[in-house]
Structure 1
Amino acid sequence: MTTRSDAIAERRPAYLSDLAAGIDRYFEERSDSCPWCDSRQLGVLLRTTDVMQHKPGVFVLESCKKCGHIFQNPRLNDDGLEFYYRDFYDGLGEENMNKIFATKRAGHDGRTRMVAARVKPKQWLDVGTGHGHFLADAKRMLPDTEFDGLDRTDGVLIAQQKGRLRKAYQGGFVELAPEFAGEYDVISMYHYLEHTVDPKAEMAAAAAALPTGGYLAIELPDPECAWAKLLGKWWISWLQPQHLHMIPIANLRSELKSLGLTVVSEQRAEPHNGQDVVSAAVLAINAGLIGGEDLAWRPAPPTRARALLRKIAFNASVPVLALAYLVDRVSAAVGGGRGLSNTYRVLARKTS
């Protein structure tokens, strides 16, 4: 049986070969204008490293002073996206991601209730579905609805094999959308648009694919959340370098309207997942102990002494994590009405 250490050792030569060629080639040229409104009034909001996987690189988020849109600048190119996504959701990261998504049922149910309050869809397409965990939970609440999924990764094929969805589309949504125009009552994009190169093009493709009266459901990290400023680079929802765009809700509303979609429901407090402080604590503590973790993109595994020291130090941090957990509980109780919610949801109906 292949162990995790074996899998890491197997991937190490490819990673080291990629890194030997340098990482500057993974970035496009810096843009001097906002990708949302074309304004040239830009300012650096955040400089950070990859605090999740600890792959090398420095990433910059800039904010548009005119519309508030936040975007990665310079942006990763296709090769860069492949490098930094590799072994995050699939491969080495698949087991951990499956455990995380398995704990998200409450959030999944909230998404489903929001849609079900307006329509009982016959066919629902989830874009960026990954391994289909949301669809499995949604089917439990809407047993008469047929659920399909779309994703660029093999995760969507795995989801189909596991019976979490009926039909699997693998590829880019913008390119595939004309194939199923008018077919789905609901198209959902949950934590998807922030990962895309051109979120406006994705939304336009969804609007074109929906029949009149169909619904587009969107969930996004809320860049106006107070924790974004308080926690800085340790705010997990920045998720650099994967999140290319962070969209204020007012910008999303305006774009939906321009596409002939009317917002019929909006949630800001309800989607809050209540893990900002504890996640920040875990990331910060882990960053200080990273020398003791076996990573495929590092030249060699850690010595036994360093691995043991990391384990001891992490165990000693349990009281800090417990305190962070309590802060998150209080934050959740206070509610998103005070700007503490880290996520928002919007449901829009195609009216023209």
Structure 2
Amino acid sequence: MTEARETEARETEARETDARETEARETDAPEPARDAGDRTARIAALREAYRADLDAGTDRFLGPRRTTCPWCSSGRLAPRLRTTDLLQHKPGRFTLEGCADCGHVFQNPQLTAEGLEFYYRDFYDGLGEQRMSGTFGGRAAMYRGRVEAMLPHDSAPKAWLDVGTGHGHFCATARTVLPGTVFDGLDFTDGVALAAREGRVDHAYRGAFPELAPTLASRYDVVSMFHYLEHSTDPDRELRAAHEAVRPGGHLLIEVPDPQSRYARLLGRWWLPWLQPQHLHFIPVANLRRRLAGLGFTVVAEQHAEAHDPVDLLAAVWLALDHTAPREDAPWLPARPGPLRRAARTALLLAGVPALLTATLLDRFAVRPLSRRLGLCNAYRLVARRQ
């Protein structure tokens, strides 16, 4: 499938999913008012559709395996990680491979447009919307740090485009730091429309960035991509779109997971930034710097400790506990868990509380101050100026 057709299919499926979710929201009570019984009813209503999707098997959600690196075209590939969906527990197995020449890590075989729709469904929106909104809405300090990374290079940008903005929580915090800046948001899901309705972004663009970029040419002083490129089927195409949208002399601000983090090897499949199957590409910092230079950008800042999110050990413990505990109810599971399974899950998670607390303390007070020195930073951030 060509990139254009894949993008079109992905957007069509996203629109259909959003339409179903919008209809459900219009006929149900607002999310905060829903009790556990109502959530159970919603899960039961979705189960038939999920079972129909799964009856044909999950292999059809993966495309053909690549024999060359998508970043440098080398044929020297080797498996890096094999895992399952550790967050939603949807069926399927996924492989990450690494390039021996450039270090690029990528999902291989990669999800098709149909696969992307299936595994994204009810993750950021639908059943997962309230959880994700709470997660992203409570990270104001991190968002301020991202804005402050730009201030030494442009202290008063007039227009800022946040690509992959989701529900727009970054923009809402950023305008408290830069009240004179217009913050626009772009995303291919309906979350960007919600961001506009809530006043978190000034203007919402819905769709694929490379398709929209020609209409945004040289419009922005800053374009940001925070943990966006790893979700893209073609990161290089996204970077070219960013070059088109940034005005000459403007800046591109990128933050992505660091596949060279020591945590990536120490924690293996329990390293949260692997986030399979949603994350498709992991770009070493040297690769991204060279690609930006080739596109006409000059990297003016590189940050590692500042981009580090101190949750690695906590997330690893939680993922392991959640994987071991009997599954909670979900529409992609064959049946609702009974009382004994629910009780067993609760008991195991309660038993894991001391480990979760210990991991939190280690993340924040032991590892965080030394993360850069020990090579444990889980992300990096680049600021690049368009020449």
TM-score range, shorter chain: over 0.9
Q: Give the letter aligned to residue 28 of structure 1.
A: G
1:157 lines up with 2:190 in the alignment? no
Cα distance in 2 for residues equivalent to 1:45 and 1:17: 32
Shift of 1:47: 0.3
1:173-322 to structure 2, matched below 5 A, reads: 173-291=209-327, 293-322=328-357
Shift of 1:205: 1.2
- Contact preservation (8 Å) 1:270, 1:336: no
1:1-352 to structure 2, matched below 5 A, reads: 1=29, 2=34, 3-119=38-154, 120-291=156-327, 293-329=328-364, 330-351=366-387
- Contact preservation (8 Å) 2:308, 2:377: yes
The 3-state SS of whatever aligns with 2:218 is coil
Shift of 1:103: 2.4
Cα distance in 2 for residues equivalent to 1:173 and 1:337: 36
Shift of 1:337: 2.7
The 3-state SS of whatever aligns with 2:255 is strand
- Contact preservation (8 Å) 2:160, 2:222: yes
- Contact preservation (8 Å) 2:326, 2:341: no
Q: Give the letter aligned to residue 6 of structure 1.
A: A
- Contact preservation (8 Å) 2:258, 2:283: yes
Higher mean C-alpha deviation, range 265-274 or range 36-45? 265-274
Cα distance in 2 for residues equivalent to 1:117 and 1:110: 12
The 3-state SS of whatever aligns with 2:373 is helix
Cα distance in 2 for residues equivalent to 1:320 and 1:115: 37
Q: Any idea what the Cα deviations from partners look like across 1:17-58, whole Å, max 9, x if unmatched?
A: 000011111111000000000000000000000011100111
Percent identity over paired residues: 52
Shift of 1:235: 0.3
Q: Give the letter aligned to residue 309 of structure 2.
A: N
- Contact preservation (8 Å) 1:215, 1:350: yes
Shift of 1:209: 2.1
TM-score normalized with structure 2 length: 0.89
Cα distance in 2 for residues equivalent to 1:67 and 1:313: 42
Shift of 1:117: 1.8
Q: Give the letter aligned to residue 138 of structure 2.
A: T
Cα distance in 2 for residues equivalent to 1:327 and 1:223: 21
Cα distance in 1 for residues equivalent to 2:262 and 2:41: 42
Q: Any idea what the Cα deviations from partners look like across 1:246-276, whole Å, max 9, x if unmatched?
A: 0000000000000000001110111111000
Q: How big is the alpha-carbon RMSD for the aligned residues of Structure 1 and Structure 2? A: 0.9
Cα distance in 2 for residues equivalent to 1:346 and 1:106: 19
Q: Note the residue ranges of structure 2 that are not aligned, 5 or more in a row.
A: 1-28
- Contact preservation (8 Å) 1:90, 1:155: yes
The 3-state SS of whatever aligns with 1:212 is strand
- Contact preservation (8 Å) 2:326, 2:342: no
Shift of 1:336: 1.5
TM-score normalized with structure 1 length: 0.98
Shift of 1:106: 1.5
Q: Any idea what the Cα deviations from partners look like across 1:279-314, whole Å, max 9, x if unmatched?
A: 0100000111133x1011001110012112211221
Q: Any idea what the Cα deviations from partners look like across 1:99-156, whole Å, max 9, x if unmatched?
A: 1112211111111001122111100000000000000000010000000000000000
Cα distance in 2 for residues equivalent to 1:122 and 1:290: 51
Q: Note the residue ranges of structure 1 that are not aligned, 5 or more in a row.
A: none
- Contact preservation (8 Å) 2:326, 2:344: no
Q: Give the letter aligned to residue 39 of structure 1.
A: S
